Amino acid sequence: MRESGTVKIAFVHQPWNKIAPPVQAGSVAMLTFEIGQRLAQADDVIMYSRRFRGQKKSETYEGVTYRRFSAGADLRFHKVVQRLSRFFPRRRPSFSRSSFYFWYILQVARDLKKSRCDVVHIHNFSQFVPIIRAFNPRIAIVLHMHCEWLTQLDRSMIEARLNKTDAVVTVCDYITHKTSQAFPQYGGRCLTVHNGVDLDQFVSVSKNKPSTSNRLQRLVYVGRLSPEKGLHVLLDAFAQVLQECPDAELEIVGPEQSAPTDFIVSLSDDPMISNLAAFYQGSTYLSQLQGRMSAETAKRVTFTGNIPHAQLIEHLEAAAVFLHPSVWGEPFPLAVLEALAAGVPVVASRIGGLVESIEDGKSGLLVTPDDSRELADALIRLLQDDELRNSMAKAARRRAEEAFSWTRVRGDLHELYTQLCDHRR
């Protein structure tokens, strides 16, 4: 840490994210952008990311420096590996290997050495840690996990990487506890920092939300169209909702972007998640969702597709209830926090970190994952009870204000960085 008390922090973005400030796509990328902007008010911040065609190698935006490096060599290498993998069975997922975007992170590690940063903050990819450590022996390394990979991948491999990590930040207690239990020798390095939301962006929505009685009863989902998100369960539940609430509408907002099977389905021993493999056979997940509906149900469902994040407010403003019916250990989705900030009651699965974002019975309702009947009952209950829905809407906004402000996130991380720097002095 510098004598002035400022900290020089570098963030390493995931190599598939195209980072162009202000960042409006990709939950991890948006989170990093929001944190970086706030830290830059008092500290020095550098953002490292992959360079896509047409992007500058370096630029500055509102006090944050953005540096980008080509991943061309990595992409060519991955193509060769994919061809060879047909002949040689893989014992480990390709994304977990040290060779995953090796040339990209090697360039970052070298530039970090020149930049003389105090802290480097890496998202999800533990294999980046040893490479950065080799070039920067005195830097404090923070590994930020947005999923369960540390406990799902090869134990000895992860243990060696954690040994070179100063702190492991996770987005929910669910992942923190699993990591601490799997690696008790590093439990003291693990802590939870919940994601945040821009409260000011949603304040007009929460204060001026129109009454549901004056409009259609709209249910809204925001997120990727991917099997682990449980949209097939949602459509089955919605067909049951229409029997009791024929005026209800369902809007599904988000890109058709199924998570690779290696990322979630192949790693889990939970039958509920393993069964999702069936959705990766034949037609696309979107096609399977559309084929799942009756003609009458399809008339009440809209697939909006991907929209700019700035337009999301309009869709939340039109929502009576927000939905998140995940069937996997969902960590801590930003979309749920935005719904809370917008004053929208949330119905979500009782799983993963979702139980930490929603106060069951206050700011929303939690239901058993992969249970369309229980999900339908929760939706019907809210749509038919204006008083309950309105009280939950107010509680949702309070929940966001009290627990999920970016000010709180910035404070928690700055305190961590300061402690790590003091320890390494």
149 pLDDT above the threshold of 90: yes
Average pLDDT, the chain: 92
pLDDT given for residue 87 in this prediction? 61
Which one has a higher pLDDT value, 330 or 82? Answer: 330
Task: Give 278-287 contacts, CB < 8 A, sequence gap 24+.
Answer: 279/227, 279/232, 280/227, 284/256, 284/258, 285/225, 285/226, 285/227, 285/231, 285/256, 285/258, 286/225, 286/256
At 61 the pLDDT is 96
Reported in sequence order, the residue ranges of 43-107 that DSSP labels E, i.e. its strands, are 44-50, 58-61, 64-69
| pLDDT of amino acid 130 | 97
Q: What is the pLDDT of residues 84-132, one digit of tens each?
A: 666 665 667 888 989 999 999 999 999 999 999 999 999 999 999 999 9
List, in order of start, the domains of the chain with CATH numbers. 8-196+405-424 (3.40.50.2000), 199-403 (3.40.50.2000)
pLDDT at 391: 95
Evaluate if pTM is beyond 0.85.
yes
Residue 1 has pLDDT above 90, yes or no: no
- Tell me if 164 sits within 8 A of 127, measured CB to CB: no
